[in-house]
Amino acid sequence: MKGGYSYSFSWRQISLALVTLVIFTTLLWTWETNPIIVMTLRSAQEWYHLPSEFPVEAPIESVGTPEMVNGVETSITPITENGTKFQLDTEGVAALDSIPAESPKTQYNQNVIPPSRSKGTQTPEKGVEKSTIPITENGTKLQLDTKGVAAVDSVPAESPETQYNQNFMSSSRNKVCNHAKGKWVADSRRPLYSGFSCKQWLSIMWSCRMTQRPDFSFEGYRWQPENCDMQEFERSAFLRKMQDKTIAFIGDSLGRQQFQSLMCMATGGEANPEVENVGWQYGLVKPRGAIRPDGWAYRFPKTNTTILYYWSASLCDLQPLNISDKQTNVAMHLDRPPAFMSRFLHRFDVLVLNTGHHWNRGKLNANRWVMHVNGKPNEDRNIAEIANAKNLTIYSVVRWLDLQLVLHPRLKAFFRTISPRHFFNGDWNTGGSCDNTIPLTNGSEVTQEGSLDPIIEGALKGTKIKILDITALSQLRDEAHMSRYTFRGTLNSSDCLHWCLPGIPDTWNELLVAQI
């Protein structure tokens, strides 16, 4: 009996196991063949959104349902790389989705990606195996690390949008643009006009192409400012920018060179019969017996743009003490601006001032200029010193002009720093020369922070007048002066003050236009 009971119990267990196996097999077969149950359970799982190994930056609503490609279910878990949405296709290759409309939050998160992540590399966490699913974007092979960030196998070919965003963020971190710092670079597209053809606006004495000068390598360079995106000068764009506006140069003969340079640049160095001489509207007519008028003014009728120059070497108000006497002394009012500037300032939209090289005793005596302060002849010996008189004039005209800018808010005023001389082995009257013809023998780059003209720089501090700082960049170009060449022949003396045109004053104007 005892042994039969044990035998019967064993068969019961076997029967129960067989029944259980049959039921389990039936359920398993039903699971595999019934899509309704599968989809129901999958939907329930998606409601939970279990933590994924790869973080998804897109909103949860953007995650769609799986697609079927050739009977194979594809994953559409979004993966982002530099803000671009991808899909993994059936081969594990990232298929580029349309550019997503990023939310402000997503854009912010992308901007604060740590440096290690922005470089495309990231150290995997301990105990987590790094995924090696191949992904390509713009032909570049990538890998997904444990955080779902694409690690760059080689330098990626960035999309235009990515490049724009990176350039924008990079530019925001750059220093403030300083047109005075930078370097000279060779440019086969220079010069901007021909010295042969710009005869209508360019004095023959400054057109080196019309002289016997044998070399013109100085023409083939342009100035590249540091941290500045300076556009190429284009005459039609300039005239459109200056439509219904007047730009005025007031200064010495270097200011006249800058004026002639801009006229050649604005016309492309070509004769233009449509340009009107409107000097008479500013009283710029040649007096009887004079060699030339006190200035010139020309208008481009299509854009109603006027470019003018007025000769005022000292930026002082000059008044003859005896109008009826041609040999009379002239009151040089150090604390008054030129009468021309006071009279026509309201008609200017851009004003460029300069002074410097006429501040020497020989020039003052030759012109019979007598210093006046407060409307009376100067009796202060300190002010009588040329350097002090010059400083007083510069600070006085700057102070006056700065106050006038309140009354003329549309006016943009510039003060150009002094143009350097390059007399070697003497001065202008003692055999000095500038015979070098090799460009940039003393370097091509300006790196210092301050201006080489501390007087102008100091006078403009705290004012609304901008500095047009050309001294240091021009200092590097000693080969670009007139030197000993003229249209009549070669001289024994040299002009190492004025520049060949086309030449360095063109660069001054490029910097000016970039800041208007």
63-118 pLDDT per residue, tens = 333 444 444 344 333 333 344 333 333 333 333 333 334 443 334 333 333 333 33
Task: Give yes or no for a contact between 476 and 442, defined as CB atoms under 8 angstroms apart.
Answer: yes
- Concatenating the DSSP letter of every residue in 264-281 gives HHHHTT---TTSEE-GGG
The alpha helices in 34-155, defined as continuous H runs, are 35-48, 104-111, 115-118
Specify the length of the chain in residues.
Answer: 516
| pLDDT for 326 | 85
Query: CB burial class (10 A; 0-12, 13-18, 19+) of residue 8?
Result: exposed
Q: Is there a single domain that holds both residue 193 and residue 154?
A: no
Amino acid, single-letter form, for residue 67: E
Whether residue 426 sits in one domain with residue 355: yes
pLDDT at 36: 44
Q: What pLDDT band is residue 258 in, cutting at 50, 70 and 90?
A: very high
Residues β-bridged to residue 195: none
Cα gap 189→82, rounded to integer Å: 37
Asked if 431 and 494 count as a contact pair (C-beta separation under 8 A), the reply is: no
Listed range (150-159, 316-325, 335-344, 474-483) with the worst mean pLDDT:
150-159
State the virtual CA torsion across 300, 301, 306, 310 in degrees, nearest 10. 80
Give the rounded percent of residues in the chain with a pLDDT score beyond 90.
61
Which residue, 131, 162, 193, sits at the end of a domain? 162
CA 224 – CA 184 distance, rounded (Å): 6
The Cα-based distances of 42 to 45, 47, 48, 55, 76 in angstroms read 5, 9, 10, 20, 15
Spatial contact of 172 and 179, defined as CB atoms under 8 Å apart: no
Residues 120 and 247 in one domain: no
Is residue 169 included in any domain, yes or no? no
pLDDT for res 48: 34
pLDDT of residue 131: 40
Q: Do 154 and 104 reside in the same domain of the chain?
A: yes
pLDDT at 215: 94
User: What does the pLDDT read at residue 155?
Assistant: 41
Number of domains in the chain: 2
pLDDT on residue 44: 38
**Residue 124 shares a structural domain with residue 214:** no
Digit-coded pLDDT (tens) for 149-169: 344 344 444 454 445 444 444
- The predicted model scores a pTM of 0.68
Give the model confidence (pLDDT) of 40-53 as tens digits: 444 333 333 333 33
More confident residue, 261 or 102: 261
In the block, residue with structure tokens 């390509």: 136
149 and 223 in a common domain:
no
Predicted pLDDT of residue 17: 72
Over residues 326-346, mean pLDDT: 97
Average pLDDT over residues 232-260: 98
Domain identity same for 154 and 195: no
Cα separation, 275 vs 286, whole angstroms: 19
Q: Of residues 443 and 22, which shows the higher confidence score?
A: 443
Q: What is the pLDDT of residue 11?
A: 64
Residue-number span of the structural domain to which 57 is assigned: 53-162
State the Cα–Cα distance between residues 154 and 120, nearest whole angstrom.
10
Assess if residue 90 is contained within a domain: yes
- If asked whether residues 324 and 418 sit together in one domain, one would say yes
7 lies in a domain? no
93 with 235, same domain? no
Q: What is the average pLDDT value for the chain, to the nearest integer?
A: 79
* Residues 128 and 203 reside in one and the same domain: no
260: enclosing H helix or E strand = helix 253-267
Torsion angle, CA of 99/103/108/110, rounded to 10 degrees?
Answer: -30
Q: pLDDT tens digits, residue range 384-412?
A: 999 999 999 999 999 999 999 999 999 99
Domain boundary among 135, 162, 189: 162
pLDDT of residue 456: 98
- pLDDT bin (cut points 50, 70, 90) of residue 430 is very high
Give the C-alpha separation, 367 to 375, whole Å.
19
The per-residue pLDDT for 74 is 40
Q: Could you tell me if residue 46 is inside a domain?
A: no
Q: Is residue 358 part of a domain?
A: yes
pLDDT of residue 32: 53
Cα end-to-end span (Å), the chain: 117
Residue 44, Cβ density class (10 Å: 0-12 exposed, 13-18 middle, ≥19 buried): exposed
295 compared with 167, residue with greater pLDDT: 295
**What token pair was written down for 191?**
């010069």
Check residue 345 and give left, alpha or beta (phi > 0: left; psi -120 to 50: alpha).
alpha
- Compute CA distances 260 → 336, 389, 510, whole Å: 27, 29, 14
Q: Where are the alpha helices (DSSP H) in 75-194?
A: 104-111, 115-118, 160-173
The pLDDT score that the predictor gives to residue 308 is: 99
Does one domain contain both 348 and 441?
yes
From 127, 162, 197, the end of a domain falls on: 162
pLDDT of 124 above 80: no
Residue 10 banded pLDDT, cuts 50, 70, 90: low
Judgement on whether residues 286 and 155 belong to the same structural domain of the protein: no
